[in-house]
Amino acid sequence: MSSTQFDGDIDSFVSYLKSNRGLSANTLKAYRADLTACLHLFELRGVTDLNEITLDDLRSWMAVESRDHARSSMARKTVAVRGFFAWAYEHGVTNTDPAATLMTPSIPSTLPAVLTESQAEQLLDVAEQAVATNQYKGDGGAAAASGSGSGKAADKSADTVNRNEAPARADKRDSARVVAESQRNAAILELLYATGIRVAELVSMDIVDVDFSNRTIKVTGKGNKQRVVPFGLPAQRALETWLEQGRPVLARTATDAAKSRATNALFLGARGGRIDQRIARDIVHRAAREAGVPDISPHALRHSAATHMLDGGADLREVQEMLGHSSLKTTQRYTHVSIEQLKNRYGQAFPRA
């Protein structure tokens, strides 16, 4: 990221947001990057003082940025810049607020992509089958390995036995890891669909956030706001299998450093550390391919969960609470998805559609 002579002002603004607005670390990081890029452009144009920047300059910046960025990204960038200059004016950093009348680009209303209920069921069934298949292969491999040298061991030297057993032990460890990862993947998919949580919320969860007695999870969402979300029996079974069987296997592969950072983490990566968002997204994309359903992201699985809840008769306010939406308007998008699906089914089934 390019640095500018205005970095000190950007730091002060980000610190202000962190203290007073409770924005997430990801949002603060995005705002910092947006402001740095904006002010770097003005710096290249010879600006040395924030007071030199005018509304026309900001509109010019928007015109340049909009060539390479979607409207949704431009809306966020504009919000960041407008907030920065409002803060600068209120705190005496600038004499005026040139961004006060800067318009946020309108974002076209697009319906979120979702799976049908049968596709979601297929996705989860295939993930569950993968666990059973890998367990079967692992058991078979272990039995073959144990049987291969049992009758001849007495006739061989200890060194020969150790040499033969070492590959078998390695194979057993590998098959145990494959089973553990499939158990983790199934639990992740079940939990994402059952609760509609964001992928960032998923990877930040600790074991203590799961309450099996009430079948709920405690989720820390945007702005560090916490909410309690219920989950169903299939998700409970998948989580219990992962925690009792799979997690200990991956935990054993962790280095001391990774172990200390992931002691309480609900989900672990292949090396025993806390799983990251990239791996979680890959798990969902790969599962969709293996299940033969449309390629989806974790966020699309969240959309699917919300849509299916509303289709099943859930109250809009309940879904809003479950998803952690601050505005009911955001949740209402899913009612449009349900209506669109109803119209499609009507068109297919009704003879005079």
Annotation marks residue 198 as catalytic = yes
| Token digits of residue 288 | 């969709």
User: 220: exposed, middle or buried (C-beta count within 10 Å: 0-12, 13-18, 19+)?
Assistant: middle
Tell me which of 18, 40, 172, 222 is the catalytic residue.
222
SS3 of the chain: helix, strand, coil, percent, to 5: 65, 5, 30
| Token digits of residue 314 | 């859930």
Tell me which of 32, 274, 308, 334 is the catalytic residue.
334
Annotation marks residue 156 as catalytic = no
How far is 275 from 196, CA to CA, in rounded Å? Answer: 18
How far is 82 from 169, CA to CA, in rounded Å? Answer: 61
Number of other CB atoms surrounding residue 185 within 10 Å: 25
How far is 124 from 163, CA to CA, in rounded Å? Answer: 41
Tell me which of 69, 227, 259, 299 is the catalytic residue.
299
Q: Residues with Cβ < 8 Å from 266, sequence gap 6 or more?
A: 205, 206, 207, 209, 210
Annotation marks residue 334 as catalytic = yes
Annotation marks residue 299 as catalytic = yes
Contact criterion met (CB below 8 Å) for 97 and 88: yes
Number of other CB atoms surrounding residue 226 within 10 Å: 10
Eight-state DSSP code of residue 147? H
Annotation marks residue 303 as catalytic = no
Annotation marks residue 346 as catalytic = no
CB under 8 A, 24+ apart: contacts of 243-249: 243/207, 245/179, 245/180, 245/183, 246/179, 246/180, 246/181, 246/182, 246/183, 246/184, 246/187, 247/180, 247/184, 249/176, 249/177, 249/179, 249/180
Tell me which of 198, 247, 274, 308 is the catalytic residue.
198
In the block, which residue shows the tokens 């998700």? 235
Tell me which of 76, 247, 302, 303 is the catalytic residue.
302
The residues assigned a catalytic role are 198, 222, 299, 302, 325, 334
